[in-house]
Structure formats: structure tokens, C-alpha cells
Structure 1
Amino acid sequence: MSHPAAPTSLEKLNKFSFERVLNEDPLTHSLTLLGAFPGPAADRVQAIVRIEKTALDPDRGGSFFGDNGLVKRVTLEESTDIYTWLFGWLPEERERDVKINVICPATEVHVHKYTKQELVMVRETPELYERIVKPYISAFPSARTQWVENILLGHSEQSKVLFSSPEFLILPDMKWDLTTTSSLYLVALVQDRSVRSIRDLRRTHIPLLSAIRREAERIVKEKWGLGKGTLRMYIHYQPSYYQFHVHIVNANQAGMMSMAVGQAHLLDDIISLLEIEPDEGPGIFERMTLTYGLGDQHGLFKAMHTASA
């Protein structure tokens, strides 16, 4: 069930009151805007709108040039909890041109997350994890992962699910246009709520991680004809939300900051590390020092930057 202020049509999108640009990314051809939509009463509901150019189809190479205009038509892709995803057209006769992601209502936490950030590299020792990061994860508001919970419980996006088992689901990520295989982007959501990040992984999770890898390879082979070795599967640390998930993208996809060293850990490498974990004693991810980039708007930034100085 979407929020009453969620813009599920072009008419509602046109009521967006622009406040400022939060971020501009020439690499992904995207703009992230802060503003508001009319609320159910006379109030305004703060919102973030991210406009992203969809992948260009090489088969339509001769049709990209011509008169450009503003968005003329949109279709609703999905609206669940505070998130809404739409596709937009410029001239209506073209392929859909832009993907529009909306967060409404957007909290100040969302505003910080989507504001352009300066990164610093921090070294998270097991001691810092226990003292700073683990309490932060435990206090992470459940409202920020309600959209994930809705999917896991079968309340939303069920028509998109490509694989379902008691352990995990695989479905397209909201960043993918669902059409262009060169930019294929799927996500595996794990049902076990006790696994929040790679810090919680143990040797006993190898069958789960191996099953995700196996099913992802099977799905892309059967649906899109992509053979072995065509996928890059990875896990973020720190992740954007603390419900364990695996990113599954076309191995030839380039330029995604989320695949950078210091955030993305290859699923194959994680499985290999767990395979050499001792049967007794602390797990390997309990004992490791993890180095990663942290944005200056992140909730952990001040404490971790100070501790790492």
C-alpha cells in the first residue's frame, strides 16, 4: 500500500515543488532532487526524486537523435511503502527515456543519504564493530526496511519474483529497466532476519550463499541466455539497509560506484573465506578488520572517522 502522497501518475508528479539538487552524477546520468508533494491535508510531504537515464538500446542507434523535450508520459512500475518507481518518455513515440525513483515521505536520514558526499576510508576493527557499528545496526529504524519486509512477506512485488524458497528470493532490482540485458541487475533477499551484514556470516551459511549463486546463474541462463561467468555477484559493506542481500549484475556493466573497492565484496570470495573458517572459535568475519569508504553524511561517519583518526 503506497503512501497517500506518493506520485503514481504524471499529474501527481507535476505537483512536485522543487527545493534543491542533492546530487548530480554524470557517470550514471542521474539527478537527485529534494522537494515536496501535496499531502492528504493541506500539508506538504518532503520527498526525494531521482531521475536516471535508462540504458540505451544499441538496436535503436539510429533513432536517438532528434527533438528533445520534457517527459510527456509515465507508467507506474511499482509503489510500495515510501518508494515509487516510474518510467518516463520524452516524445511519446520513443523508447522510454528516464527512470524516476521517488521516496515519499522522505526523512532527514534519506536526505543525508542522497546528498553528494565526500568519502573517507575507515578501518573497522572487531573492537570498533562491537563498540560503534553493531549498536548502530541494532538501532537501525525498522521503518527504513519496511519495503524489504513487504517483499519478503509477499505483500508487494510478487509478480516480479524470479525465484522463491524458504531461505531467499531473487527479483529484479529497482535500478534495472527490466529490458536491457547489458545492464541486468537482480537482487537476492535473504529471509533470515538475524543476518544483517557480512559480519554475521559463518561457515554454516555456505549452503545458503552457494544456493544464491547457483539459482542466479540458472535464472539468467534460462531467461536471458547469459552463460557462466557473465555475472558479478557481490555484497556491500556498509550496506544501504541491514537486511542481508546479494547484488547480481551483468559482469560487463561498468561505471557503477557501488561496485568499487571499499564497498563491494565478491560473493565467490566470501564463500572461499568461509570455507577456510575453523569449525570452532570466532568466525572469520568476526575476526577481520574491514576497510571501507564512508560518506560524510552517513550515520556512522562521525564516530568511525574519529575512532580511525
Structure 2
Amino acid sequence: MDAKAFQEFAFERLLNEDPASHSLALLGTLPATAGDVPQRLPAILRVERTPLSADFPRHLSSGLVQDYSWLFAWFGTRSEIPDVKISVIFPATEVHIRKYTKQEILMVHETPEIYDRIVKPYILSFPPSRTLWVDDLLSGKSEADRILYKDEASDYGYIILPDMKWDMTTVSALYLVAIAQSRAIRSLRDLRKHHLGMLKSIRRESLKIVREKWDLLEGGIRLFVHYQPSYYHFHVHIVNANQSGYLGSTVGQAHLLDDIISMLEIDIDDGSSILEKMTFTYGLGDQHGLFEKMVAVQPELPE
């Protein structure tokens, strides 16, 4: 989407303001055409302040700051220092709107029985079209030039590419993602001991990529898996280990890939896996599609 398109954005309301990430989530509309009929569809703009470059201090004495009021500053237009990064979700569905709306978090417990009764049907209710963009990535239909590594094995293959959250420049904010080829692995619960080869390969190739491309040593990245994830197609987040302020890497949502590998290594070869039998505890926002049902069943749990 080019800059001209943003002039057509009609703001409706603020969904969220996050001081930790210096970002805003804005709901509005953008023009679209269905056949020959012009219309406006919901759109979300996530506006995030970009990190300051390492050479920022030398600009302080060269006219960079054009105006100031108390502790605020407005910067002049300089191509080497973008002021903000804008992410566009268009057309935005009700699910997207709920996701980006400020939420009250409650910790919930998910037993294997609750997973089978509530969570699994919820996951299966999503049509394949919800992750069509993932299929496009895996097939090379979109962003083929951004893929850093590809293992094409149908059951255990994966791709590694930069996450859209990353500007591809600020190494301290490095953010890659590994996405499994198989549709059968929807979440952490679906992992089995026979997936160890894939998981170890993701770890090995991620370390190799960041060492060769960005000179990060072993131990310089954090690899983790979300539960609940933002979309139900198995993927691993790969971020700079020194990255701070990213709420998605907090306890109650992120599970270290190394810990997952260790659990599967000591798991039994046949039968229910350890990840099937575990009770997971995680934070769930009040806008999440599982929130009401999960909160309702919490009193059923034994103390």
C-alpha cells in the first residue's frame, strides 16, 4: 500500500494505546471495490514509533530537532530516520478488531479435557481461508524474495523469514519467524516426538542465519512458541535475546523452543504426548474468542 492510500483513511476510533511499545491501533475505513461497486471497508492502522538509530546522537547538534515543548520533540523529515512504522490490516474482520482492541487479561487453566471440549472445536471452526496468507508464503506465491531458508519436506519442512514487525535494519529489534509446512500442526498441543527433527532443525538454521547475516553469536536469539497463538498454523518466533518490551515473550504466553524440545526428548515414543497431557496456564484477553467459555469453566477445576 502506497502513501497516497493513507490519505483515504477515515478514522473512527482508537482501539488501543500501548506506551510500552510506543504504538497506537486505529480503526477506520479505506476505499475498496467489489466488482464495479465502490465501497468502504474496515481497516486497522497500527502506528509504532521506530527505534532510534545508533548514530542518532550526532544529529542532535545538526538541526534535527525542529521544535520542542517540555519533554516532547518533533523531528524533521529525514529518510535515514523514519519517525513511525505503520502496519495495515485491510480489510479488517471483527476478529482483527477484537485482537487489536485494548484487553483485560485473566489467567486461565486449560486441562486436556477442556482442550478437547472447548479449545479444539474453536480451532477447527476457522475456515482454511483464515490462513490463506500462510499458504501463499509456503508456496512462494508471496514474499518469496524475503525467505531466508526453506525446507520443503511436506510433513516436517518449514520456512524462515523476517516477521513483518521488523524493519530489517535494527538488529537489536531482530524478529524472524519459522512457519511449518504441515497444516496438521495447528498449535503446541499437536507436537509429537517425531517432530523433534523439525524443531531442532529450526533451532540450528535460525542460529546459522543470524550468525552469518547479523553477526549474532549462539545465545543471541530467543526462540519461542505462543499458546494461545495469534493464528493456528504452527510457527516459532525468533527474536534478539536483548529485545525488551515485547509483551508477547512474557510468561503465560511464550514457551521456549529449547524447553519444548527437552520435554519431547524425554517423552514416550507411542501414545499420548506430554503436550497432550499437560495443563496449560496462560493469559487470555477479554476480546479473545475463547474468553467467555474458558472463564466460565474455571470453577470446575479442582483446587
TM-score strictly above 0.5: yes
Identity of aligned residues (%): 55
Partner residue of 1:30?
Answer: 23
Counterpart Cα distance in 2 of 1:168 and 1:101:
25
Separation in 2 of the partners of 1:158 and 1:270? 29
* CA-CA distance at 1:277 after TM superposition: 0.4
Distance in 2 (alpha carbons) for counterparts of 1:119 and 1:100 = 25
> Hey, what does 1:102 align to over in structure 2?
88
Distance apart, 1:221 and its partner CA: 0.5
Partner in structure 2 of residue 125 of structure 1: 111
Q: 1:55–1:177: 8 Å Cα contact kept in structure 2?
A: no
- Pair 1:12-2:28 in alignment: no
CA distance in 1, matches of 2:89, 2:243: 26
Structure 1 residue 93 displacement after superposition: 4.4
TM alignment of 1:118-157, pairs within 5 A: 118-157=104-143
Pairing 1:220–2:210 present: yes
d(CA) in 2 for partners of 1:260, 1:17:
34
Identify the residue that residue 46 of structure 1 maps to in structure 2. 42
Alignment-mate amino acid for residue 63 of structure 1? H
Deviation at 1:90, TM superposition (A): 6.1
Unaligned runs of 5+ in 1: 1-7, 70-88
Match of 1:190 in 2: 180
> Any idea what the Cα deviations from partners look like across 1:219-254, whole Å, max 9, x if unmatched?
000001111110100000000000100000000001
> Is 1:257–2:247 an aligned residue pair?
yes
Question: Partner of 1:58: helix, strand, or coil?
Answer: coil
Distance 1:92 1:58 in 2: 15
Deviation at 1:42, TM superposition (A): 3.2
- Are the aligned partners of 2:224 and 2:236 in contact in 1 as well (CA < 8 Å)? yes
Q: Which residue of 2 aligns with 1:306?
A: 296
The two structures, once aligned, show a CA RMSD in angstroms of 1.5
* 1:84 matched residue in structure 2: none
Aligned length: 283
Contact kept, 8 Å, 1:90 with 1:96, in 2: the verdict is no
Which amino acid in the other structure matches residue 185 of structure 1? Y
Q: Aligned in 2, Cα 1:90/1:274: closer, same or farther, shift over 3 Å?
A: farther
Deviation digits for residues 20-39 of structure 1, max 9, x if unmatched? 00001111111000000112
2:31 maps to a residue whose letter is P
Q: 2:146 aligns with which of 160, 173, 198?
A: 160
CA distance in 1, matches of 2:100, 2:238: 22
CA-to-partner distance for each residue in 1:258-291, whole Å, 9 max, x for gaps?
0010000000000000011012321001100000
Q: Structure 1 pair 120/90, CA: closer, same or farther in 2 (3 Å)?
A: farther
CA distance in 2, matches of 1:255, 1:99: 17
Deviation of 1:53 (Å): 1.2
Deviates more, 1:118-127 or 1:51-60: 51-60
Partner of 1:4: none
Cα distance in structure 2, aligned partners of 1:294 and 1:60: 38
Counterpart Cα distance in 1 of 2:46 and 2:130: 18
Q: Which has the larger radius of gyration?
A: 2
Provide the residue aligned with 1:275 in structure 2.
Answer: 265
Decide whether aligned partners of structure 1 residues 67 and 141 sit closer, same or farther in structure 2, where only a CA change above 3 A counts.
Answer: farther
Shift of 1:130: 0.3
1:75 is matched with: none
Q: TM-score, normalised by structure 1?
A: 0.89
Amino acid of the residue matched to residue 117 of structure 1? Q
What residue number does 2:236 align with?
246
Letter in 1 for 2:124: S
Question: What SS class does the counterpart of residue 67 from structure 1 fall into?
Answer: strand
Could you tell me whether the CA contact under 8 Å between 1:19 and 1:34 is conserved in 2? yes
| Cα separation, 2, equivalents of 1:68 and 1:154 | 46
TM-superposed deviation, 1:149: 1.4
2:277 to 279, 287, 293: 287
- Tell me how far 1:97 sits from its aligned partner: 2.2
Contact 1:220–1:226, Cα closer than 8 Å, also in 2: yes
Contact 2:52 2:81 in 1 (8 A): no
1:66 is aligned to 2:65 = yes
Q: In structure 1, what is the Cα distance between the partners aligned to 2:97 and 2:254?
A: 23
In the alignment, is the contact (CA less than 8 A) between 1:28 and 1:255 conserved in 2?
A: yes
Q: CA deviation at 1:67?
A: 2.4
Distance 2:127 2:290 in 1: 14
